[in-house]
Structure 1
């Protein structure tokens, strides 16, 4: 159809074919203007047997839907960079994804169901992407495993929005009409789609139910002999409950899948937002137990005796960056698109480079089995981290990185991903110097294999920048964060979630440097961008607004901060409920702002209510609960009620020392609070004794940090921020 090495629009150099399908070909190409690799989809000429009017409609729909797809900006939607026509060939330029689509994942696993954590992870990410696209009045209409990709970093992306809508509008379903244009898949079509009735966003929810059923059980809900039998099944038959095929699937998720597969759209969840809330509600692990995937089998293991408040804890950036769902990386570097486009060629795994992967033959069964085993080991290692067992998680990731290097090579994306996760584990253990060494080496490998502007390389540079901040190298962190943000704007766009995540890191370090005017301006821009792309009630938008409130408070603009927090509490309560931890965080900010306005009686009432709610929701010794209890003591002190304040300060100090250790920064701060309170009560000798103890612990902490730095820092390369 088109020739290798052809230059499209004097910009996109076609390198090699990724796949072929009914509508055309997909090429790996080089964008010579920006020096990055992309995927180029070329529409196949349909020939003289089609009516001219049909061809005209096809071209117009192609152009219109390409514009629609290009306007979508969400982490869970494949990025469209460009589209056009070159010498009679219509084309779309999209981001080049490294990963596997869900159909390929099932094939890799010999059509066995995916691990339960993977099913949950995929369900939540696809639901978030559908919520966004449905808000833009876009209905996919062809959601299926081949159109959903899980990339090497665990991100789940929906592909082919434009093509799917195009197919529905023209009015064809390929495998039924025989036109040769792949416009639908019987196994995933909703009853209203089949009957030719009106289709809305709930049709996508039905298709998602079909996808979740298949990845949870290994088979579609109506796995019948031919296309017509499948369509009749969708219309008339009740699907077999998934737990009859997969007993370890939690009942809550079975209920959700069956509700999605309701014949009547009115019986399904109202929209993707409601579905997202149901998925969140379903995440209730049994106390003291957790599931860890070992290989592709799920085994239940006892959780070690961690504090109650660690259950369900997420470990995101402290600056409120975009929340990234727990990642379950997959094996295989091959670029993945969709079954519609790649039905004829399935890219296979390789051990050397992405280019070699695209040209390599299918791996033998033993190689597939080895890759499947490594994928399971990666999932198990990630779950150890989710349980807070970072030492074990780090060891597991290091061993896995060595195994992947032997099988795939040192610069293979999956090898580098495992090494990166080992660095994350070290960071969680406070071993930031060692983490820095790993980040630097992974960054060098990714830039070697992919180029400095590849999204994966930029993701690694983002981690390097953040880790520089943890090392106290704030100016280096600021400089590198600015560079990464500028690169992500250039490559991904100014409003891409990853770009905004880097701007969050930049704003955070600006605040730590005392540059609060610049930090506030950055947070305000992030909040505005997220509101425009994600909506005003999206979690990430609300998080950015909270950070704006912090900036206003730091700059002494207390009245503005107070008004912001009042509105934020209302919006959080509406979107997530009164007892959601983030709603309580907004209420905490409201209480602090009341205190800064010298409205201490109101601040005391708010602090007590939030402390009680956090104790009920998070536990009495959760760090956030203790922060609210400390705020209660602060308010009591300002009201002159020092004896009451002393009791609360002492309780907080004892809890922090018990949970965090005597030398932890927060525990030391609590000892300082106690000393100040004792001074106010005239108990100067006790206050002096507290301060001496704090000084001794600070000195001990400094010595330990110096020894750790001297023992590990010199061994690692120094990453320049320039």
Structure 2
């Protein structure tokens, strides 16, 4: 829908206010009544959308209209109308003049809201929830972005897209999928994460998360990895609010912690009781008893798969996770330069789980608190010219947290800019070698890798590793973390021999400093297994990956995500060795375990299902592979979107197996569709786009259309030569394809000359010549 468009001869769209994964919201004018309204439109999915996905989104959209229209309360956004225009569903709502709580926090530069505002918002949202719950409606996606504070102070709840009606459970289950935990990870209740039934107390837990964030500036489990956030909700006690913000009233802290009780029966029974507690009319239980944290030796009340997971703040450095009430603490300019010392497991920031067959990003580093001493005597202390004011420290901490929040949303370019800006200011204020400066530079380099600037990231990690070695020592865990990232970047750049050398050195140092079974040591051994595979040492890679998987199962638990990543690496090596039956069994087992632990729609679960389908195809079981690919395409389209690279990867696999079954017309149609989508989403020279061009050429050849196939092969060869160089293995493979095509067209002399050139280039490349 476009600006100034008239819907149903009544609603004129004036200005786009926002865009989300499901729809767009426009400021519009109701021409019949002469009033300003908001119009929410379901976004068209384009010509290549999945019909099943479209049906689900339409039903969810209609459901939002149905649920919201049934409510009439000052704390709930009013719905005026619902319909379809040119096949696009739309919802007409009151136009809200205000800011959602997420924007309020951003406008406040990440600082928490005043205590009176927190209390007022809590009472108003609780009143709205009391009303909706009385009508049998559970919101299920309460978060700061769905709570709007108007300019007159009124607070309203909006977006009932995944709400559940108490008398309509079956309908909701069909929309969401049985057992699928929908919601936003930072604000989901433990029972919602587990995929079980939720009731009004789940909304109260989510409200507790919201209140925690607006009262302290960060959600209760402020982690960059969605898995770690979910683990926090299910088994980790939130940090007391007054540790983060000492001036908060004790009663408010008790109320919020009561809302965040892990078991629903330990929370307030309903929103009315919550209001009574806030207004002082009820009793508030004592602070929630802390949940026992995992014991590295076992015996924890938490499940085994939580062992080794980080539960604290991300790599904010000393005193940045929570600003100390002592003005002399936090970023005062004092810092330790100490010898290497083992680091506790809960100091480790977990990076996102790497794709199958790749190294894992290394955790970022934590630092010793200010004013401590090393094992060999007092720490060396450096000071800037003047102490950093606590207000400036708070600002830098908030901006650092914002960078990590952006990274958690996958907005890596913005995250990198944020961290680079903070690093520049910290270098000027604290010095270039201050741990906080290096922590920001580390995060900025991490973002560089994720935006494809791997060479720049390698240079940055190398500098960071050298600086940390100078001030912390060469075997300090933080130094080793930076060195391990240099190896990861080297591997991404194809410099596998150098990567292997660095991984080996870091592994030896980690074993000395931390022991062979420390999670960081095992992470490094896993990466070493990946590097061995890239060097062609597949038997060594498979054996090492097996050893790491066994150690991780023993230390972290058999279904810990890291254990499953190593099992995937075992399967990958087995496949490379041609042992596809063994790889298939391993991938299937991993997929089942991930579905149990992470849920059926988690990206890692879907990745294991993809590898299962790929293995079936390699075993010649293309009919079975087709069935898996079709289901996977449907699920990835629903979860990630129909044009997401991983969805297109599954569609590519579908086309390949159609060809293996001799269904070449269908294979050609699928390959062309995927090529078009990849060109639009990834660019014409992206490796995946070129693979699709080649798949089109293969299908054309099998259909006997060799002239058309030759044009595709030449396009791929020219693009690879331009990007990779004339002697790159993939360029030469494309030239070989081109020669084969010439041969089939009867142009034997041209084909022979091209075959000869390819052979010469391959010999030159193998001998290391120029």
Q: TM-score, normalised by structure 1?
A: 0.55
Corresponding residue of 2:708: 644
Corresponding residue of 2:295: none
- TM-superposition CA deviations, 1:231-283 (whole Å, max 9, x none): xxxxxxxxxxxxxxxxxxxxxxxxxxxxxxxxxxxxxxxxxxxxxxxxxxxxx
Corresponding residue of 1:670: 734
Q: Distance in 2 between matches of 1:479 and 1:409?
A: 32
Q: Which residue of 715, 719, 744 corresponds with 1:655?
A: 719
1:198 aligns with 2:262: no
- TM-superposition CA deviations, 1:564-617 (whole Å, max 9, x none): 111111112222222111111111111111111111111111111111111111
Q: Distance in 1 between matches of 2:605 and 2:591?
A: 5
1:589 aligns with 2:589: no
Q: Distance in 1 between matches of 2:234 and 2:193?
A: 14
Displacement of 1:670: 0.7
Q: TM-score, normalised by structure 2?
A: 0.52
Displacement of 1:373: 1.4
Corresponding residue of 2:495: 431
Q: Which residue of 457, 475, 492 corresponds with 2:539?
A: 475
- TM-superposition CA deviations, 1:42-88 (whole Å, max 9, x none): xxxxxxxxxxxxxxxxxxxxxxxxxxxxxxxxxxxxxxxxxxxxxxx
Q: Which residue of 321, 326, 332 corresponds with 2:367?
A: 332
Corresponding residue of 1:527: 591
Other structure's SS at 1:662 match: coil
- TM-superposition CA deviations, 1:93-115 (whole Å, max 9, x none): xxxxxxxxxxxxxxxxxx9969x
1:565 aligns with 2:637: no
1:222-621 matched pairs, under 5 angstroms: 319=356, 329-332=364-367, 369=430, 370-621=434-685
1:174-213 matched pairs, under 5 angstroms: 184=256, 198=270
Other structure's SS at 1:559 match: helix
Displacement of 1:481: 0.3
1:681 aligns with 2:734: no
Q: Distance in 2 between matches of 1:575 and 1:542?
A: 10
- TM-superposition CA deviations, 1:4-49 (whole Å, max 9, x none): xxxxxxxxxxxxxxxxxxxxxxxxxxxxxxxxxxxxxxxxxxxxxx
Q: In the superposition, relative to structure 1, how do residues 131 and 511 fare at CA in structure 2: closer, same or farther (>3 Å)?
A: farther
Q: Distance in 2 between matches of 1:553 and 1:545?
A: 13
1:704 aligns with 2:768: yes
Displacement of 1:352: 5.2
Other structure's SS at 2:503 match: helix
Displacement of 1:362: 12
Q: Is the 8 A contact 2:365 2:439 kept in 1?
A: yes
Q: Is the 8 A contact 1:351 1:407 kept in 2?
A: no
Q: In the superposition, relative to structure 1, how do residues 150 and 432 fare at CA in structure 2: closer, same or farther (>3 Å)?
A: same
Gaps of 5+ in 2: 1-107, 112-144, 146-182, 197-201, 242-246, 281-332, 334-350, 389-429
- TM-superposition CA deviations, 1:359-413 (whole Å, max 9, x none): 9899776599412111122223334434434333223222211211222222221
Q: In the superposition, relative to structure 1, how do residues 648 and 177 fare at CA in structure 2: closer, same or farther (>3 Å)?
A: closer
Displacement of 1:329: 2.3
Displacement of 1:703: 2.1
Gaps of 5+ in 1: 1-110, 115-122, 169-173, 204-226, 231-295, 297-313, 334-346, 708-722
Q: Is the 8 A contact 1:321 1:501 kept in 2?
A: no
Q: Distance in 2 between matches of 1:517 and 1:616?
A: 36
Q: Is the 8 A contact 2:658 2:666 kept in 1?
A: yes
Q: Distance in 1 between matches of 2:185 and 2:251?
A: 34
Displacement of 1:688: 0.9
Q: Which residue of 119, 135, 142 corresponds with 2:193?
A: 135
Q: Distance in 2 between matches of 1:636 and 1:528?
A: 38
Q: Distance in 1 between matches of 2:734 and 2:573?
A: 25
Q: In the superposition, relative to structure 1, how do residues 113 and 379 fare at CA in structure 2: closer, same or farther (>3 Å)?
A: farther
Q: In the superposition, relative to structure 1, how do residues 316 and 675 fare at CA in structure 2: closer, same or farther (>3 Å)?
A: farther
Q: In the superposition, relative to structure 1, how do residues 352 and 156 fare at CA in structure 2: closer, same or farther (>3 Å)?
A: farther
Q: Is the 8 A contact 1:167 1:183 kept in 2?
A: no
Q: Is the 8 A contact 1:595 1:635 kept in 2?
A: yes
Q: Is the 8 A contact 2:186 2:219 kept in 1?
A: no
Pick 1 or 2: higher relative contact order, CA cutoff 8 A, min separation 6. Answer: 1
Displacement of 1:350: 6.4
Q: Is the 8 A contact 1:629 1:648 kept in 2?
A: yes
Corresponding residue of 2:46: none
Q: Is the 8 A contact 2:740 2:751 kept in 1?
A: yes
Q: Is the 8 A contact 2:455 2:493 kept in 1?
A: yes
| CA RMSD of superposed structures (Å) | 4.5
Corresponding residue of 2:344: none
Q: Distance in 2 between matches of 1:157 and 1:410?
A: 35
Q: Distance in 2 between matches of 1:688 and 1:349?
A: 74
Corresponding residue of 1:691: 755
Q: Distance in 2 between matches of 1:516 and 1:543?
A: 17
Q: Distance in 2 between matches of 1:166 and 1:423?
A: 35
Q: Is the 8 A contact 1:167 1:184 kept in 2?
A: no
Other structure's SS at 2:507 match: helix
Corresponding residue of 2:48: none
